[in-house]
Structure formats: C-alpha cells, structure tokens
Amino acid sequence: MAMVRRLAVTLLRHGLTEENKQKKYIGHCDPPLCEEGRKELYILHRDETFPEGAILASDRKRCMETAEILFPESKVKVSPALREMHFGEWERKTYDDLCGIQRYRDWIDDPFGVSPPGGESYQDFADRLHGAWHREIWPAAKDSGHVIVVTHGGPIRYLLSEFAPERKEMWSWLVSHGKGYTLYWNGAEGRLKDRCILLQEAPFTAKPNGCRSTILPRE
C-alpha cells in the first residue's frame, strides 16, 4: 500500500529582543535580537533537525535574524504579511505606560471589538493572516511538503486557533520566544481550510516523566 504524503507547517516565534525583555508592545517596530536572544536560539535548536522544506519569515529584523541563525544555508522568502499586529500609538509602550488609558483598558477587555489608535483592528489582522495562509504558507507546504514560518507570537496564536486540532481561543496558546509548533496534514486529504490532524511542539522538549512533546490527535 502506498504511503500517504504528509504535509507539515512549522510555526516558530522569533528570538528575544531587548524590548521583549522590557515587556513592550513592538508590533510593526523593527528591533533586532538581543545577545541573550541569539544565545537562546543556539541552545534551543542545537540538537534540532528540521525536515527540508521552504522557509518563510516576517520582514521584521527579529524574524529574519532568527531565520539566519537557524537556517544559515537556506534561502528565506520574506513577507510583510507575516508581521505581528500593528499596535499603533501603543508601540514601544508597556502595560504600566498604558493602563491609565480608557481605550487601552477597553481593548484588553475586548481585543476583537476595540483596536489600538492608529493601529490594526483584529479583523484586519485576521484578514492579513488569512491572505498569507492562502497565498504563501499553504502553497509552499503543498509544493515542498514542509514549510517553516518564522514569525511572531500573535500570528502563531491566530493560526493555531484556526488550524490546530484542539479548538482554543487565540489568547489561550502559549508561544515562547524561539519555540513554536509543527502542524501536520495528510496530503491526500488536507485542504486549505482543514484543521490539522497532528500537532507537535518545536523544538522537542523533555517532559517531567521523560516523554517528549505531546502529539494531539484531531478531534
């Protein structure tokens, strides 16, 4: 019996920046990785071997530098559609800077209905990511069998809410710097809008019981 071709999409969050350490909203801002972030990437992925495939990255420095560290011999396709949400006037500011502003408090309570001043609404953010999925991510997965997407926490959480086997709100997903998830589809059955059949942490992490990362079956 012929084996079914499996398609995979790995979503990786960029490494740490100084602004991340300061808990600032950086969205479309373009800071580089900090030295600590570079070291963490080397440590996290030194024993990791990704399957061959296409590599896409957000056009922000922190993502392009992450891709260069992890895939130094590979050609990386850069896309502005993979950027983080644009936080407008709140970029480079912290919770403490903003917590006295009523619109910010309204946004915290209702991020789907309230948008940052001068920034991006949730619907615009979602539409942008849907476009990237349709025009860039899924076609690359179909062509090469595996695509690695180096992007930001927000886009990864959004795509997991849309395509992970387990249905969870976007904000419920934990995505640490330098880490992410690989989503799998059976190539003969996988379609553009299907949830994946398997989900696996990237890179693999040891669990307290000695097992490696959990693979979740499709519901």
Query: Any idea what the CATH number is for the domain that residue 170 is in?
Result: 3.40.50.1240
Task: Please say if the pLDDT value at position 50 is more than 80.
Answer: no
DSSP one-letter code for 134: I
CA distance 60 to 30: 5
Residue 97 in any domain: the answer is: no
DSSP one-letter code for 33: P
Confidence (pLDDT) at 137: 96
Q: Is the pTM of this model over 0.85?
A: yes
Q: 88-105 in b/e burial notation, b at 16+ Cβ within 10 A?
A: eebbebeeeebeeeeebe
Residue 99 in any domain: the answer is: no
Confidence (pLDDT) at 190: 60
Tell me the residue range of the domain where 137 lies. Answer: 6-85+121-217
CA distance 91 to 218: 37
Matching residue, tokens 């006037």? 89
Residue 95 in any domain: the answer is: no
Name the domain count of the chain.
Answer: 1
Residue 105 in any domain: the answer is: no
Residue 126 in any domain: the answer is: yes
Q: Kindly report, residue by residue over 166-203, the tens digit of the pLDDT.
A: 899 998 999 999 999 999 998 755 666 789 999 999 88
CA distance 147 to 143: 9
Residue 12 in any domain: the answer is: yes
Query: Which residue, 201, 205, 169, is CA-closest to 184?
Result: 201
Confidence (pLDDT) at 216: 30
